[in-house]
Structure 1
């Protein structure tokens, strides 16, 4: 018999419960139609002046061992020979799990909203979309939110059968099998490491400029990256409690300062700024639609955080869907209302030109003219703190990804280590060291932290995220088709099929506009895209070599 290892109480195997990025200011590029678009990832630094600164659950609500409980791994997953390793999924390998029953709807939403960095997106991403779609920008954000909501219909229905920190990878395993899931895991690792590398590099520039403008202290970019990364790593390793306290304060600050901007604009210009006159077919569906939709959609890349925290959720089968829709609604409304007010205040006839001419300073100047220098300075400070919240959210999210992959056997088992508080401590440390190693290599080689590190890696991460969504959409479709679930055709067939087709279109737009994502760099940077199919292929091969990989183990 295998030796039984004792764990702290919150780590012991338990019976299942009843069911119940961007921030950028950019230089101008020429589009194929000749209209100038700022590149969201080829950002010029913000100008700070002295006054302007996976576990499958039983398929009924009855607990295991009681009448009405479904078999552990019932469903289409078991019919697939490549998932034979899941037949013995009575417990997570090693009996290790994250601390359960810890997070409610609002707590999970905090992590996802923080990782979206809404304040930084309004200041940085919105000018990019304004320059492409002008007064149609608020509608572009609504379209992006509806696209994510469409994907969520089948995805969240499928979440009733999965409670796993592996995020999308667990869903791919459930629908398409272990081999495809391991390929998807490779893309997920590439995606989230790339996003963190690029965003940390950009944060360092903004933090350095802000501190220097306020204090005259001219410390290097690398210093601020190392100092703040050390703080976020410690918070990640300490567990969700510590991170939530910090995120709560930072998100509240972001929300209040943007609300202050909107209120000051209304006080100065009147409610007439919320005009429908700019919502024309030309502004919404014009030549700028592709790049606008791509960047608006990129502002929702943190959405996966809602399911990554499923193991730690209270009543996950109810909490996760509620948190997901709360995140979509909050971010969508936040972007729509703020950009609508900004567009009307500047003027629907002039917003496109203003955003093109001054993408990095437009929002700050508007804040100063409407409320005074205090609001402009506050926004500049909170853009930097918004980055900290985003990076802390991503650190917590990706460390749980690595934890789940280590526990499943796709990565070294050491990554599934947890601290006394039930946090994926070792995975959090590995994540930070990996990100810091890549950034260090580029900066020591003399690479520009914005034009090279940020542009290259955020573009790659965006393309990788679209790839993961395509795989997950396909997995949702296949899962419901193989399980024979047809109680609601909209939920199980129509919405998943439409979301899959929509992401095919978004994927095409990503490739079509990849040079814009790169800030016009092209060349060597374009070859980085090959990393996505190559790492996916490597994952497929590993999935065949190690059939015991188990993404959907039931935690008892």
Structure 2
């Protein structure tokens, strides 16, 4: 029985959630995870400051090309495999079931690290904004706990409600960044220079750090396939949304980072970015368009972070659901809300966020890092580790695409989609992963190796090894369950029919 056939033959009220998402909705989910304003104000300024290289705009275009090649095989496989645990299912069916379970736990950990880590920057940003505008000192973890509650509510509601909320927020983010770009090119204190787009400005010592920072800006684009079971037409929706998101993200960030270099002035850029950080964008808008515009941009910076939190929360919840449905994790994780959302997975992710945030809040009490504590620890540590895990997974998925079509002796869309593109993607992503490992201390803002340099990668690697061992144990203990690993609704349907 094919996956496509089984998906439609199952009782939709029991086995499939309501299919509400179109290309625009899934694209918005992806771009929301990328958080455009957050990347510009936080990521791009940090990259300029830390690396001292002007070629950051070109790096976004280069990485966009790499990920577009990866997306060719990824999209081809999405037409054959529709599963809420996308990476998990792809690796299980393309390489092996143990590798799939290992990949699933790496994905779970990576998405959780990304999601919970963003709370650190969110808490700092909101508490700083409240302090500046109202003179009230609010501990960073208070707005975080309030945000966790709101994200939890959205997580158990209709998925298209999340998409609509994120769509509105992302549209406003784009508007602010476009205004910033236009003003930057208009001001151009040193003229509009094409130097930031020159290969000579990128391919010099330090390029590895630039690419390591840059890849994090794209994290979330690969999540399209996670929504395959909730898409109106997954065979067309997922590939189109993936390609659209990669193209928009690469071009938008490339142009916006170029605008930052031009608007600030290449000769002053590194110094100002180092001193002001995210405030570079807001102070620039305040100086040229007034305080009101700057305040609106800062508020949208908060909503940008919120949008990313919702998007990553949804991804985690769907991984939990997928693994619970196939009994790789406890069966109760399969529970859905009356809206079809993965209720149990959403609640577990919420619980993880509360526990981790509480731990960092206690650990940071009285820290010498002061107000920046949640940014320099919770945000920096967890999001960089999460990005490392996702890049590793994408390299593995590229290999699984080749294996999937080779096993079936079918070249979906030709050799380019089934073999050539995923092979190139696997090599390119493996190189990027190596660059992240080599520059990990730089990404963490450390001048030397510390225990954190080893603990964070271990949070990614150890669960993967544990997943492989767990799958091998399942093969001995429960062969039937093992057979269903990575086959989503097909496996779930077979299981239910067997019970009947």
- TM-score under structure 2 length normalisation: 0.89
Give the aligned partner of residue 354 of structure 1. Answer: 272
Give the aligned partner of residue 196 of structure 1. Answer: 115
* CA deviation map 1:407-458 (0-9, x unaligned): 1111111111111111111211110111211221232233632222222222
Structure 2 residue 427 is matched with structure 1 residue 501: yes
Structure 2 residue 388 is matched with structure 1 residue 388: no
2:286 aligns with one of 355, 358, 368: 368
Inter-partner Cα distance in structure 2 for 1:398 and 1:474: 23
Give the aligned partner of residue 3 of structure 2. Answer: 57
Structure 2 residue 476 is matched with structure 1 residue 533: no
Inter-partner Cα distance in structure 1 for 2:144 and 2:452: 23
CA 1:154–1:271: 2 relative to 1, 3 Å: farther
Q: How does 1:238-387 map to 2 (within 5 A)?
A: 238-269=157-188, 273=192, 275-387=193-305
Inter-partner Cα distance in structure 1 for 2:55 and 2:2: 43
- State the secondary structure of the residue aligned to 2:344: helix
Choose between structure 1 and 2: higher helix proportion. 2
2:155 aligns with one of 236, 239, 242: 236
Inter-partner Cα distance in structure 2 for 1:354 and 1:375: 21
- TM-score under structure 1 length normalisation: 0.80
- State the secondary structure of the residue aligned to 2:154: helix
Structure 2 residue 397 is matched with structure 1 residue 472: yes
Inter-partner Cα distance in structure 2 for 1:471 and 1:388: 30
Inter-partner Cα distance in structure 2 for 1:485 and 1:540: 28
Give the aligned partner of residue 485 of structure 1. Answer: 410
RMSD: 2.4
CA 1:508–1:56: 2 relative to 1, 3 Å: farther
* CA deviation map 1:37-95 (0-9, x unaligned): xxxxxxxxxxxxxxxxxx9634xxxxx4xxxxxxx69xxxxxxxxxxxxxxx9869994
| Deviation for aligned residue 1:364 | 2.0
| Deviation for aligned residue 1:270 | 10
Is the 1:128–1:292 contact (alpha carbons within 8 Å) kept by the matching residues of 2? Answer: no
CA 1:467–1:265: 2 relative to 1, 3 Å: closer
- State the secondary structure of the residue aligned to 2:337: coil
Is the 1:90–1:554 contact (alpha carbons within 8 Å) kept by the matching residues of 2? Answer: no
| Deviation for aligned residue 1:511 | 1.0
| Deviation for aligned residue 1:359 | 2.6
Give the aligned partner of residue 127 of structure 2. Answer: 208
Structure 2 residue 388 is matched with structure 1 residue 460: no
Inter-partner Cα distance in structure 1 for 2:162 and 2:395: 31
| Deviation for aligned residue 1:159 | 0.9
Q: How does 1:37-186 map to 2 (within 5 A)?
A: 57-58=3-4, 64=5, 95-100=14-19, 102-131=20-49, 132=51, 134-186=53-105
Is the 2:45–2:274 contact (alpha carbons within 8 Å) kept by the matching residues of 1? Answer: yes
Inter-partner Cα distance in structure 2 for 1:284 and 1:509: 14
Is the 2:123–2:143 contact (alpha carbons within 8 Å) kept by the matching residues of 1? Answer: yes
Inter-partner Cα distance in structure 1 for 2:108 and 2:314: 14
CA 1:400–1:358: 2 relative to 1, 3 Å: same
Inter-partner Cα distance in structure 1 for 2:13 and 2:320: 16
Inter-partner Cα distance in structure 2 for 1:435 and 1:524: 23
Inter-partner Cα distance in structure 2 for 1:92 and 1:470: 35
1:397 aligns with one of 285, 310, 315: 315
Give the aligned partner of residue 551 of structure 1. Answer: 486
CA 1:269–1:349: 2 relative to 1, 3 Å: closer
CA 1:553–1:389: 2 relative to 1, 3 Å: closer
Give the aligned partner of residue 470 of structure 2. Answer: 542
Inter-partner Cα distance in structure 2 for 1:385 and 1:379: 10
Give the aligned partner of residue 522 of structure 1. Answer: 449
* CA deviation map 1:127-159 (0-9, x unaligned): 123232543221111111111101001111111
| Deviation for aligned residue 1:277 | 3.5
Is the 1:120–1:387 contact (alpha carbons within 8 Å) kept by the matching residues of 2? Answer: yes
Inter-partner Cα distance in structure 2 for 1:264 and 1:455: 30
**What count of residue pairs does the alignment treat as equivalent?**
473
